[in-house]
Structure 1
Amino acid sequence: MASVRFDNVTKKFGEFVAVANFNIEIRDKEFLVLLGPSGCGKTTTMRMVAGLEEATSGDIYIDADRVNDVLPKYRDVAMVFQSYALYPHLTVEDNIGYPLKIRKVPPEEYTRRVAEVARRVELETMLKRLPKELSGGQRQRVALARAIVRTPRVFLMDEPLSNLDAKLRTQMRAELKHLQHELQVTTIYVTHDQIEAMTLAHRVAVMNKGVIEQLGTPREIYNDPRTLFVAGFIGSPSMNLIPGEVKDGVFASAGLRVGGAGPFNIPRAVLGVRPEDIHVASAEDPDTNLVAPIYSVELTGENTLVSLQLGGQLLAVRADKNFSGQIDQRVAVRIARDRMFLFDAETERRVDIQSNS
């Protein structure tokens, strides 16, 4: 297999900088997810690995080989696109085996490898069908099989699940995770869907405006966001980000006061707290931080998502599934102080308060 390394890589389109001074090493057999909004540079980064885009400056390595000037067909990478890109006139078998055909693989080996890969993705009974006879999930599995059959050094996947419905995405996520574990191939996966990133990745690189905001395991990214962008991008629903000020270690905003903000005075601060770290309390509770009216109540099955009106914004609270509050009813809540985050609104960097709380 292979590792992939970027050394000070920059990619420009005219004066626009799509990727800036990019440095990262994707380890051998690792599943790395490039996560970020549209236009953040994640697909451009992946296309530079494939050779479909040329780096403006810096070096890209696959193992010890510098590949900047190596043609795409000689880089030994396989790419799975957002669109299935199947040949409509070819059967499933012929679509899967097409990379082997153009490499003139002997017939016996061709048949063996196609059958083996079809079994891995549960398509062995559909080899004689045309793409139009398949469901969306089956077509995506054909596209995956076509990449797998080559046994490349690196898999590159560009939002391969975005065209599927929610149920199929969940199923395909599990299949992708199992396949990568089974095949042990270095994989770079591009997505804007943070659920995909959290469930699939060994590590996640959260990108914004062409740079990596934070690199870490899904657990690290979720539990230890280093910037306002990462805090707001990761999580469903996302972290509550409440603007206010810190004076003598107390955060204050419209109707909200929370102590334990460290020995700081920050005139423009943002308090970050996840919905599951805000608890419905009684109005008599001395640790109550806020009493506010309910804006909406949404039962999600395992719990209830309650939105409270806080000044000009909504505060998301994850309550028990049996919560029965009504719209406009006033509810008291308590914030878990050991699970709140404080950000400087000027720098958008996190202020470390946990050791001081």
Structure 2
Amino acid sequence: MASVRFENVTKKFGDFVAVANFNLEIKDKEFLVLLGPSGCGKTTTMRMVAGLEEPTSGDIYIDADRINDVLPKYRDVAMVFQSYALYPHLTVEDNIGYPLKIRKVPPDEYKRRIVEVARRVELDTMLKRLPKELSGGQRQRVALARAIVRTPRVFLMDEPLSNLDAKLRTQMRAELKHLQHELQVTTIYVTHDQIEAMTLAHRVAVMNRGVIEQLGTPREIYSDPRTLFVAGFIGSPAMNLVSGEVRGGVFARAGLRVGGAGRFDVRRAVLGARPEDIQVTSAEDPDVNLVAPIYSVELTGENTLVSLQLGGELITLRADKNFAGQIDQPVGVKIATDRMFLFDAETERRVYF
């Protein structure tokens, strides 16, 4: 297996900087997710490992081997694309075995490895079918099997679940996680879906505008966001971010006051609070931070999402599944001050208190 290392890697397309001075080490057998919105540089970063893009400057290593000038076919990486990219005229067996055929693997080993991998991804009864006879999830498993059969040093996965429906995505996430644990192959996974990142990754690199905003375990990224971008990007529903100012340890804006905001005054501040750290209570409660009318109520099954309107912003919180509030009903809100976050709106960096 292998580690992957980026040293001061920059990629430009003309005057546009897609990836800027990128430094990252992906450990042997690690599942590393590059997470970010479209255009943040995550796919470009992965394509440079595959050899589909060349770095403008900097170096990329697999183990001790500098691979900048190595042809893609000699890098010993396997890539799974967003589209299944299957050969429509070939059977499942032939699609899976195509990388082995190119490498002229002996017939006995060729057959054994295809059967073994097909069994692993539960396709062993479908080897004679054509892609058009398969469901979306089955086609994606063929694409995975085609990558696995090579036993590469590194797996590269470019949003492989984005074309699947919600139920299949959930199923395939579990299968991917189990496969990576079983195969123990270093994996770089690109996605804009923070649920995939949180559920699959050993570590997540949150990217924005060609740089890593934060690198850490899913728990660290969720519980300790260091920038305003990371705070707003991670979480479903997203963290509530409310603009205001901090004076004398109190965060304030029209209609909202929250104490315990530290000893630093911040002229342009943003208060962050996750939906599960906000409690809905009676509008008559004297200890509330905010009284506001209910904007919407959404039962999700295990709990109820309640949105309140504060000026032009919405605040979303998680209430009990039996919550019976009505739209336009005024309610009180208490924010858990020991679990709230504060950011400087000018630097977009976390203010610790």
Equivalent residue number for residue 62 of structure 2: 62
Shift of 1:311: 1.0
**1:149-228 superposed matches below 5 A:** 149-228=149-228
Whole-Å Cα distance in 2 between the matches of residues 312 and 145 of structure 1?
49
**1:165-314 superposed matches below 5 A:** 165-314=165-314
Q: Which amino acid aligns with 1:105?
A: V
Whole-Å Cα distance in 1 between the matches of residues 315 and 172 of structure 2?
33
- Kept after mapping to 1: 8 A contact 2:283/2:330: no
SS of 1:25's equivalent in the other structure is strand
Whole-Å Cα distance in 2 between the matches of residues 231 and 336 of structure 1?
17
State the Cα RMSD in Å: 0.6
Equivalent residue number for residue 86 of structure 1: 86
Shift of 1:287: 2.8
- Kept after mapping to 1: 8 A contact 2:7/2:60: yes
Q: After superposition, what is the alpha-carbon deviation per residue over 1:162-195, rounded to whole angstroms, capped at 9, x for unaligned?
A: 0000000000000000000000000000000000
Q: After superposition, what is the alpha-carbon deviation per residue over 1:270-294, rounded to whole angstroms, capped at 9, x for unaligned?
A: 0000000000123344431111000
Whole-Å Cα distance in 1 between the matches of residues 17 and 185 of structure 2?
31
SS of 1:100's equivalent in the other structure is helix
TM-score by length of 2: 0.99
Shift of 1:264: 1.5
Q: Which amino acid aligns with 2:82?
A: Q
Equivalent residue number for residue 45 of structure 2: 45
Shift of 1:110: 0.4
Whole-Å Cα distance in 2 between the matches of residues 282 and 297 of structure 1?
16
Whole-Å Cα distance in 1 between the matches of residues 9 and 181 of structure 2?
29
Equivalent residue number for residue 132 of structure 1: 132
Equivalent residue number for residue 338 of structure 2: 338
Runs of 4+ in 1 over 6 A off after TM superposition: none
Equivalent residue number for residue 102 of structure 1: 102
Q: Which amino acid aligns with 1:58?
A: G
Shift of 1:232: 0.2
Whole-Å Cα distance in 2 between the matches of residues 157 and 104 of structure 1?
25
SS of 1:283's equivalent in the other structure is coil
Equivalent residue number for residue 31 of structure 1: 31
Q: After superposition, what is the alpha-carbon deviation per residue over 1:280-328, rounded to whole angstroms, capped at 9, x for unaligned?
A: 1233444311110000000000000000011111100110000000000
Whole-Å Cα distance in 1 between the matches of residues 286 and 152 of structure 2?
61
Whole-Å Cα distance in 2 between the matches of residues 349 and 307 of structure 1?
26
Whole-Å Cα distance in 2 between the matches of residues 175 and 306 of structure 1?
33
SS of 1:306's equivalent in the other structure is strand
Whole-Å Cα distance in 1 between the matches of residues 135 and 253 of structure 2?
51
Q: After superposition, what is the alpha-carbon deviation per residue over 1:175-233, rounded to whole angstroms, capped at 9, x for unaligned?
A: 00000000000000000000000000000000000000000000000000000000000
SS of 1:69's equivalent in the other structure is coil
Q: After superposition, what is the alpha-carbon deviation per residue over 1:238-277, rounded to whole angstroms, capped at 9, x for unaligned?
A: 0000000001110001200000000111110000000000
Shift of 1:335: 0.3
Q: Which amino acid aligns with 1:133?
A: E
Q: After superposition, what is the alpha-carbon deviation per residue over 1:22-57, rounded to whole angstroms, capped at 9, x for unaligned?
A: 000000000000000000000000000000000000
Whole-Å Cα distance in 2 between the matches of residues 329 and 344 of structure 1?
33
Count of paired positions? 353
Gaps of 5+ in 1: none
Whole-Å Cα distance in 1 between the matches of residues 69 and 247 of structure 2?
56
Q: Which amino acid aligns with 2:50?
A: A
- Kept after mapping to 1: 8 A contact 2:272/2:341: yes
Q: Which amino acid aligns with 2:329?
A: Q
Equivalent residue number for residue 74 of structure 1: 74
Equivalent residue number for residue 116 of structure 2: 116
Equivalent residue number for residue 147 of structure 1: 147
Whole-Å Cα distance in 1 between the matches of residues 303 and 93 of structure 2?
45
Whole-Å Cα distance in 2 between the matches of residues 21 and 269 of structure 1?
29
Equivalent residue number for residue 352 of structure 1: 352
